[in-house]
Amino acid sequence: MPYYIGDVIQDEDKLVARTPERFRDGGIEVLTQTSVMEINAKESLVQLGDGSRVKYDILAVGTGTIPILPGIPGQDLEGVFTLKRLNDAIRIKAWIEEKPVHEAAIIGAGFISMEMCENLRRRNIKTTVINMGALPVTRWDPIFSKKAQEELDKKGVVTLTGTKTQNIEKGADGRLHLTTTVGELVVDLLILAIGVKPDAQLAAAAGIPLGKTGAIQVDFSQKTPLENIYAVGDCCEVFNRVSKRWVHIPLGDIANKQGRVAGRNIGGSPMLFPGIVAAQSFRLFDLEMAATGIDDREATQAGFHPVSSIVWGNAIAGPMPGNSSVGIKLIADQSTGKLLGAQAIGGAGAVSRINTLSCALWAGLGLDEVAYLDLAYAPPFSPSWDPIHVAAQDLLKKL
């Protein structure tokens, strides 16, 4: 959706994988603009907004997430948006084009905020990131987050760090006047991108147990503990193969897979969801950032003894023109020598390396195996010792 707002994707219809009409053509009934008020698990029915009741034999809950709001006076004003639904993206784009918007601010500095920065700058909108913390995208090592911050600076994004927004008011000029802990800021558009939480209220009210993460508890069949009730996607938990823990990672690719697994189980072709390794990527202007597995802190929490190191290498062979630097951080368990996680940043080739390392994590490879993985070498794509090999060999010294 950020790329739709940036007009890289021009047509909103392209974001819809399957329209209600196409579902109906396939024999699936669809109700849009219809709220479910209550799930009554005892009587196996749902109550809709118009008071009508629908009986079910099997229920699947896919209620997604809700944006976390900062709780600032004025957060409901016109011109202040969250970005969750396609409607939000359409409204933001219309606001940008009609207003017009010259200056924007984003509260939050996660990957959605970063994608929005790129796309707002693409539209030549002066953009300010209001970050309560010191660095953006904190999933990554501070050394990589600093690189992300430098990229923001280089592309003309203003960042206010350690800054809280205290008040939003609509001025006599029709613009949004933000009072922050470092002064006043006047913008035409404000995006709230602090994060999301599982939308599990309906489920919880129905007595469907939630996990420790606050998301709906499921098993590998996507079944909740209540009979005939499944849950899929961002509203439920997912098993992390590395930490062996149930986590909440709201990403659309995971939701797709969980949905397909639930659909198979409901449709009589049983299968188990294999879990995830938490692979993730995004682009920030000319930078690729990606991560997979768990970081040092999560590793310690999961009972591992993590060691890690960062190596900078070349994404392509040294003598080739267009050489670009790529940073790779590997995290491994000192006791077993197994890879636990990886992070990468670079102009090109960071995401592809994280995909490779995701396979290594999936397979439970040891660092010694990663150090000699047979990868597809050719000068335009990598040095003969890929940065993955170099990073693994570097970390092996710490085991």
Partner 1 sequence: MGKKLVIVGSGAGGASVAAEAKRRDPDLDVLMIEQGDYTSVAA
Binding site for partner 1 (CB under 8 A): 1, 15-20, 23, 26-36, 39, 46, 48, 54-64, 85-87, 202, 230, 232-235, 252-253, 255-260, 262-264, 266-269
Query: 36 or 132, CB closer to partner 1?
Result: 36
Query: 179 or 221, CB closer to partner 1?
Result: 221
Spell 230-260 as b/e; 16+ CB within 10 A means b.
bbbbbbbbbbbbbbebbbbbbeeebbebbbe
> C-beta of 19: minimal distance to partner 1 in Å?
7
> C-beta of 294: minimal distance to partner 1 in Å?
23
> C-beta of 251: minimal distance to partner 1 in Å?
8
- To the nearest 10°, the Cα dihedral for 207, 211, 216, 217? -90
Closest listed residue to residue 247, CA positions, set 139, 162, 159, 155: 139
Query: 83 or 367, CB closer to partner 1?
Result: 83
Query: 139 or 146, CB closer to partner 1?
Result: 139
DSSP-derived secondary structure for 64-75: -EEEPP---TTT
Query: 60 or 373, CB closer to partner 1?
Result: 60
State the Cα–Cα distance between residues 234 and 321, nearest whole angstrom: 43
State the Cα–Cα distance between residues 382 and 344, nearest whole angstrom: 15
State the Cα–Cα distance between residues 346 and 101, nearest whole angstrom: 31
> C-beta of 379: minimal distance to partner 1 in Å?
35
For residue 273 the two structure tokens come to 């969801």
> C-beta of 244: minimal distance to partner 1 in Å?
23
> C-beta of 214: minimal distance to partner 1 in Å?
17
Query: 211 or 366, CB closer to partner 1?
Result: 211
Angle separating helix axes 142-154 and 111-122, nearest 10 degrees:
20
Closest listed residue to residue 241, CA positions, set 200, 307, 298, 308: 298
**What's the burial of 170, exposed, middle or buried (CB within 10 Å: 0-12/13-18/19+)?**
middle
Query: 3 or 312, CB closer to partner 1?
Result: 3
> C-beta of 119: minimal distance to partner 1 in Å?
14
